[in-house]
A and B are shown apart, each in its own frame.
Chain A
Amino acid sequence: MGIKEKIKTNIQRNLDQRYFRRLLGIIATRPVLFAYGNTFSSISDKYLNIFSIESIRDAYSGNKPVGFGSIFLPYEFFNAMGVSPLLPEVMAGFTAGLGLSDQTVKKASARWYSQDLCTFHRSASGAVELDLFPRPDFILCTNLACDAAQKSFYHYAVNYNIQNRYYHLDVPYHYNSRSLRYLADQLEKLAEKIGDITGKGVDLDRFAETIELSNEFRKWAVKLNNVRKELLTYPPHFNGLNFILPFHAFPGTQQAVKLYKNIYLELDSFLQKQRKDPDIHKNPPKKILWLHLKPYYRNEISDILENGNCRVVFEEINYVYWPELDPSRPFESLALKMLSHPLRGNISNRTDAIGKMAEEYGVDGAILFTHWGCRQSNGGSRIIKDYLKSRGVPLLVLDGDCVDRANSSTGQIKTRLQGYMEILNCG
Chain B
Amino acid sequence: MKNNLIIEDFLKEKGVQKEKLKKIGWFCTYTPEELITASGFSPVRVMGNKNTVKSGSYFPINFCPYLKSAWESLLASEDGLQGAVFTDSCDGMRRLYDTAEYYLKDLPVFMLNVPRNTDSRSIDFYSSNLEDMLVFIEGIKGKQTSNQDLLKALRLHNRKRNLLKEFSTSFFNNKYSLDISDYYRVMEISLSRTSETFLDKLQSFKELISKNNNKDKTRKPGIMIIGNFITEQKLWKMFTDLDVNLVSDDLCVSSRYYQGPVRIPSFMEGADRKKILHLIAERYLNKPACMRMSDMGSKISQLKKEASDNDIRGIIFISLKFCDNVIYTFPLIRKEFAGLKIPVLYLEIEYSNFSEGQSNTRTQAFLEML
| Residues on A facing B (Cβ under 8 Å) | 111-114, 116-118, 143, 146-148, 150-152, 154-155, 158, 163, 168, 170, 172-174, 178-179, 182, 185-186, 345-348, 370, 372-373, 375-376, 378-383, 386
Which residues 80-107 of B have a CB within 8 angstroms of A?
Answer: 88, 90-92, 94-99, 101-102
List of 5 A-B pairs having minimum Cβ-Cβ separation, nearest first = A379-B95, A151-B328, A168-B294, A173-B113, A376-B91
- Smallest Cβ-Cβ distance to A154: which chain B residue: B296
| Residue contact A376 to B113, C-beta cutoff 8 Å | no
How many Å from the CB of B331 to the closest CB on chain A? Answer: 4
A390 CB to nearest chain B CB (Å): 11
Interface positions of B (Cβ within 8 A of A): 57-60, 62-64, 88, 90-92, 94-99, 101-102, 111, 113, 115-117, 121-122, 125, 128, 291-292, 294, 296-297, 321-322, 324-325, 327-332, 334-335, 346
A143 to B, closest residue via Cβ: B116
How far apart are the CA atoms of A232 and B96 in the complex, in Å? 38
Q: Is the CB of A378 within 8 A of B101?
A: no
Whether the pair A170, B102 counts as a contact (CB closer than 8 A) is no
CA distance A179 to B125 in the complex (A): 8
Taken together as a complex, chains A and B put the C-alpha atoms of A205 and B291 apart, in Å, by: 39
The answer to whether A347 touches B328 (Cβ under 8 A) is no
In contact, B117 and A168 (Cβ under 8 angstroms): yes
Please, which residue of chain B has its CB at the minimum distance from the CB of A112?
B331
Evaluate contact between A382 and B57: CB separation under 8 angstroms. yes
Which among B58, B98, B117, B325 is the interface contact of A346 at CB below 8 angstroms? B98
Query: Is A375 within 8 A of B92, CB to CB?
Result: yes
26 contacts between A and B (CB under 8 A): A116-B62, A117-B324, A143-B294, A151-B328, A158-B335, A170-B122, A172-B125, A173-B94, A173-B111, A173-B113, A174-B113, A178-B125, A179-B113, A186-B121, A345-B94, A346-B111, A347-B95, A372-B62, A375-B62, A375-B90, A379-B59, A379-B63, A381-B60, A382-B59, A383-B99, A386-B102
CA distance A64 to B264 in the complex (A): 50
Please name all residues of chain A whose beta carbon is closer than 8 Å to the beta carbon of B116 when the two chains form the complex: 143, 150, 168, 170
- A contact residues around B62 at 8 Å (CB): 116, 372-373, 375, 378
Contact yes or no, B331 A155, CB < 8 A: yes
Give CA–CA (A24, B64) in the complex, Å: 42
For the complex, give the distance between the alpha carbons of A277 and B95 in Å: 46
A350: nearest residue on chain B (CB-CB)?
B98
The answer on a CB contact under 8 Å between B324 and A148 is: yes
List 11 additional contacts besides A155-B332, A347-B102, A379-B59; criterion CB under 8 Å: A113-B331, A117-B327, A147-B292, A147-B325, A150-B116, A151-B291, A168-B116, A345-B111, A375-B92, A375-B324, A378-B60
In the complex, the chain A residue whose C-beta lies closest to that of B294 is A168
Interface centre among B59, B62, B63, B329 (most CB of A within 10 A): B62
A143 to B292: give the CA distance in the assembly, Å. Answer: 10
Query: Which residue on B lies nearest to A145, using beta carbons?
Result: B91
Chain B residues with CB under 8 Å of A170's CB are 115-117, 122, 294
Task: Please tell me if the beta carbons of A112 and B330 are within 8 angstroms of each other in the complex.
Answer: yes
CA of A334 to CA of B101 in the docked complex: distance in angstroms?
30
Please, how many angstroms separate the alpha-carbon atoms of A346 and B100 in the complex?
Answer: 11
Which partner residue on chain A sits nearest B321 by CB separation? A116
Closest beta carbon of chain A to B326's beta carbon, Å: 9
Pick from B90, B102, B128 the residue with the most CB of A within 10 Å: B102
B292 contacts which chain A residues (CB < 8 A)?
147
Considering residues A168, A172, A382, which has the most beta carbons from chain B within 10 angstroms of its beta carbon?
A382
Residues from chain A with Cβ under 8 Å of B58 in the complex: 382
With a cutoff of 8 Å between Cβ atoms, the chain B residues found around residue A148 in the complex are: 324, 328
One of B95, B113, B328, B332 near A117 (C-beta < 8 A): B328
Give the residues in chain A near B332, CB-CB below 8 Å.
Answer: 154-155, 158
**Complexed CA–CA distance, A148 and B322 (Å):** 12
Flag if A375 contacts B91 (CB, 8 Å).
yes
Kindly provide the distance from the CB of A112 to the nearest chain B CB, expressed in whole angstroms: 4
Please measure, in the bound complex, the distance between the C-alpha atom of A179 and the C-alpha atom of B113, giving whole angstroms.
Answer: 10
- The listed residue with most A CB atoms (<10 A of its CB), out of B117, B122, B328, is B328
Residues of A within 8 A of B99 (CB): 382-383
**Assembled-state Cα–Cα distance A163/B336 (Å):** 14
Contacts of A143 in B (CB 8 A): 116, 294
Given A170-B294, A347-B98, the answer on whether A379 and B92 have CB atoms closer than 8 Å is yes
Known: A116-B62, A375-B324, A378-B63. Is A147-B91 also a contact (CB below 8 A)? yes
Cβ contact within 8 Å between B121 and A182: yes
Contacts of B64 in A (CB 8 A): 375
Minimum CB–CB distance from A379 to chain B (whole Å) comes to 3
Query: Chain A residue with minimal CB distance to B99?
Result: A383
Contacts of A185 in B (CB 8 A): 121
* B98 and A376 form a contact (CB under 8 A): no
Query: What is the CB-to-nearest-CB distance from A284 to chain B, in angstroms, rounded to a whole number?
Result: 34
Chain A residues positioned under 8 Å from B102 (CB to CB): 347, 383, 386
Task: Collect the chain A residues with CB atoms within 8 Å of residue B328's CB.
Answer: 113, 117, 148, 151-152, 155
For residue A121, which residue of chain B has the nearest CB?
Answer: B328
Q: Which residue among B64, B91, B115 has the maximum number of chain A CB atoms within 10 Å of its CB?
A: B91
Query: Within the complex, what minimum Cβ distance (angstroms) separates B368 from chain A?
Result: 22
Chain A nearest CB, measured from B319 CB (Å): 9
A380: B residues at CB distance < 8 A: 95, 98
Asked whether, in the complex, the Cβ of A375 is within 8 Å of the Cβ of B121, the reply is no
Q: A380 to B63: give the CA distance in the assembly, Å.
A: 11
CB-CB < 8 A to B325: which residues of A?
147, 151
Are B63 and A375 interface neighbours, CB within 8 A?
yes
Contact A173 B88 (CB under 8 A): yes
Given A147-B292, A178-B128, A382-B59: A163 and B297 interface contact (C-beta under 8 Å): yes
The CA-CA distance from A151 to B60 in the complex, in Å, is: 22
Which residue in chain A gives the minimum CB-CB distance to B62? A116
Give A296 Cβ to nearest chain B Cβ, in Å.
Answer: 20
Contact A376 to B95, CB < 8 A, known contacts A112-B330, A117-B327: yes
Chain A residues closer than 8 Å to B330, beta-carbon distance: 112, 114
Residue of B nearest to A111 (CB): B331
Q: Could you say which residues of chain B place their CB within 8 Å of the CB of A378?
A: 60, 62-63
Residues of B within 8 A of A179 (CB): 113, 125
Partner of A146, one of B91, B98, B121, B321: B91
Q: Chain B contacts of A112 at CB under 8 A?
A: 330-331, 334, 346
Please name all residues of chain A whose beta carbon is closer than 8 Å to the beta carbon of B88 when the two chains form the complex: 173, 345
* B67: min CB distance to chain A, Å: 8
Cα–Cα distance between A232 and B335 once the two chains are bound (Å):
53
- Complex CA distance for A168 and B115, rounded to whole angstroms: 11
Instruction: State which of A114, A174, A182, A345 has its C-beta within 8 Å of the C-beta of B327.
Output: A114
Report chain B residues within 8 Å CB of A386: 102
Query: How far is the CB of B154 from the nearest CB of chain A, in Å?
Result: 24
